[in-house]
Amino acid sequence: MRESQRKRWFYIGWWGVFVALLSLAACASPSGNLNKDPGIGLCETDADCTLQGQSCYRRYCRASSAAAGHRYSLQIIPPASPKSAEQNKLIRQQFLGIHLADIHDRPIWMRETFPIHGVVQTQNGQPVPAKLRFTDTETIPGQPLVSEVNNQEDKRTDGRFTLSLTFGVYDIEVLPEDKRLPPFRIEKVSVTREQELTLTLPQHDLTSAEKDQYIRLQGRLLPAKSLVPLPSGFATQSLQVDVLSEHGLTISGIENLGVDGQFSIRLQTTVENARLIAQPAFLRVRQNESRQPDDTLVWMIPEIRIPLGQLAALKDRQISLGDLPFLCAPKPGHLIGQIRSPQQEGASPCASCRLQLRGEISVGTHQNTPVQASYRFDTTSNSNGAYQIPYIEGRYELEVWPNVTSRWARAVFQSSSIMQNHMDITLETKPDLRGRVCSKDEQGGCKTMISGTQIRAVWRASSNPQGVSVTSETSAASQYQTQLSGKDGSFELLLDPGLYDLIFIPPTGSDLARKVERNLRVQRGQIEIQTLLPKAQFLIAQIITPDGFPVEGATVELHAFQEGDRSPAHLIGRHTTNNLGMFSIPYDPSPADTAPSP
């Protein structure tokens, strides 16, 4: 039997003796000597049990039973200031797809942490400076477990690294410091013990292709004949190319073009029986820098993704793409105007409004496949609401984001609605979402208005009536608002048009559970809703180390998500463990994903 297991059973035995002594004391102890530590001990009334969800039963604090049926996931975040050497070894962990009844009122053993040692080197033993990223393959949606380490810390030059991981299966990504070398990926590495990893990259020579064991993708970019020629003074060395997989992952190094448009880039893919593994999908062409030292824009280079369908035969570890179409736009035009709203706020201008121009241009074809170029340009309006943004003739749209706390709504304009180089933009008022928060009675109606409830609106998707597709991460990040309900349970949120999830978080100590209203469509005008918060049940358990010690100060999060739903899991609740490692999280015993009733 391992030493750690002997320790574990030793502490479990003493914990049982301790509980038995407490039970005996509960029968004989006078009322003046009650132990009122949270989660354990003697009691006279329910008020002596300070963990929510416990009640006083035969002078001892006990937890009520937990509901079963629905599966949930737990995330345990170790304390920021560990109390012991054992706690210092703990790292963030997740337990997936559990029934609450299986862990309710029981200890949850954190997994043991294993030291992982390794080295990144080439086939002849040359160390490769790199950052390593270990990603757990089984995690809560939207809550990935990623550990990063650099093998050049502490002035080490031998390529070695050390980190700690728990039991699991990991994908490893090696990101060389030299960007001319591609990422190196290894999938499904099992960690069950302390172990040594040797990550061997192909041999490379950055000056000689003959000594390089990577597969090289070669070609030449030429301006499309039907488009304008390269402007005077343009240097092809300001362009860089790399290769993407069909999932958008970078699978090559990054190389600058030569003076004649030639390039040769190293691929992350390996060869098996004279064929490529992980077929390259796109060649991406971008510009390093397009501004002069005085911050003026000389020309605009759209980003080009050239589909790589049927690749040429692999010969001497080389693949030739031949000539590929390329577009360099001349000095672009400028769209100018002012952003304001004469309908409210005294017709004041929209200062520091964000603008983003997105466009597409047809470049030509490669291997009979159309090649499109896309570009994006971001800027902000000045104190007077004036803006100036460059553009290229073609299909494009302009999106405007006022401050998220403003009464003005986001606006989207397509190129068909922009008929000249000058356009003043008028913003409309955001839709008004109003409602009340109630506790649910036994008949499913409103029992009591709940004040102090946090209402959080999380943007899910655009519902623009013109059908304009908005995919910018900036748009999603900006559509997030929160507010507390008033004394009468009322709230009011001003939101941009779109689809939202509304999260209702009751005040601590209310004995109510969170409620999530999914896919609420917010459009023009005023919207009225009423939300009923259900009476909570409580998950109560104890977090202990692999050696049986309680973990104080750990954050425990309870998550739920729908199978097949790509959106992140939503948080049911969180709590910090007390000095005995115990926590209590309220939850809805019968959740239902229904749209809110207007």
Kindly list the structural domains of the chain, giving each domain's residue range(s) and its CATH number in brackets, ordered by start. Answer: 3-109+538-586 (no CATH), 113-201 (2.60.40.1120), 214-326 (2.60.40), 333-426 (2.60.40), 434-535 (2.60.40.1120)
Q: Are 219 and 319 in contact (CB under 8 A)?
A: no
Burial of 448 (0-12, 13-18, 19+ CB in 10 A): middle
Q: Are 239 and 285 in contact (CB under 8 A)?
A: yes
Distance CA 98, CA 108 (A): 12
* Mean pLDDT to the nearest integer, 443-464: 83
pLDDT band for position 42 (50/70/90)?
A: confident
Token pair of 125, please? Answer: 């033993």
- Only one residue has tokens 């002012």, namely 338
State residue 505's pLDDT score. Answer: 93
Cross-strand bridge partners of residue 378: 356
pLDDT tops 80 at residue 71 = yes
Instruction: Dump the DSSP string for 278-306.
Output: S---EEEEEES--B-TTS-B-----EEEE
Q: Does an H or E element contain 306, and which? A: strand 303-307
Out of 20-24, 300-304, 360-364, 485-489, the most confident range is 485-489
Taking Cα atoms as reference points, which of 457, 527, 531, 517 lies closest to residue 489?
531
Q: 191 or 51, which is more confident? A: 191
State residue 476's pLDDT score. Answer: 42
pLDDT band for position 18 (50/70/90)?
A: very low
Backbone angles phi, psi at 309, to 5 degrees: -80, -95
Question: Which residues, including other chains, have CB under 8 Å from residue 316's CB and lie 6 or more apart?
Answer: none
Taking Cα atoms as reference points, which of 579, 592, 573 lies closest to residue 550?
579
Beta-carbon count within 10 A of 496 CB: 24
Alpha helices in 55-185 (DSSP H): 85-88, 100-103
pLDDT tops 60 at residue 168 = yes
Cross-strand bridge partners of residue 76: 93, 556
pLDDT tens for each residue of 234-263 = 667 778 899 998 888 899 999 988 878 889
pLDDT tops 90 at residue 58 = no
Query: What does the longest C-alpha to C-alpha distance in the chain come to?
Result: 97
Question: Which residues, including other chains, have CB under 8 Å from residue 481's CB and lie 6 or more apart?
Answer: 404, 456, 457, 493, 494, 495
Q: Are 529 and 437 in contact (CB under 8 A)?
A: no
Burial of 447 (0-12, 13-18, 19+ CB in 10 A): middle
State residue 108's pLDDT score. Answer: 92
Taking Cα atoms as reference points, which of 244, 319, 308, 310 lies closest to residue 274?
319
Distance CA 130, CA 142 (A): 26
State residue 311's pLDDT score. Answer: 75
- Only one residue has tokens 């990935």, namely 144
Q: Are 92 and 76 in contact (CB under 8 A)?
A: yes
pLDDT tops 90 at residue 520 = no
Question: Which residues, including other chains, have CB under 8 Å from residue 427's CB and lie 6 or more apart?
Answer: 339, 340, 341, 350, 400, 402, 408, 409, 411
pLDDT tops 50 at residue 507 = yes
State residue 41's pLDDT score. Answer: 58
pLDDT band for position 565 (50/70/90)?
A: low
Q: 211 or 267, which is more confident? A: 267
Q: 307 or 436, which is more confident? A: 436
State residue 478's pLDDT score. Answer: 43
State residue 275's pLDDT score. Answer: 65
Q: What is the per-residue burial (b if ≥16 Cβ within 10 Å, else e) of 577-592?
A: bbebbbbbbbbbbebe
Q: Are 552 and 116 in contact (CB under 8 A)?
A: no
Q: 591 or 528, which is more confident? A: 528
pLDDT tens for each residue of 231-240 = 666 667 778 8
Distance CA 20, CA 154 (A): 51
Beta-carbon count within 10 A of 295 CB: 6
The four Cα atoms 455, 94, 189, 246 give a dihedral, to 10 degrees, of -10
Q: Are 316 and 214 in contact (CB under 8 A)?
A: no
- Quick one: CA dihedral 338, 344, 346, 352, positive or negative? negative
* Radius of gyration of the chain, Cα coordinates, nearest whole angstrom: 30
Distance CA 491, CA 349 (A): 28
Question: What's the first-to-final CA gap in the chain, in angstroms?
Answer: 62
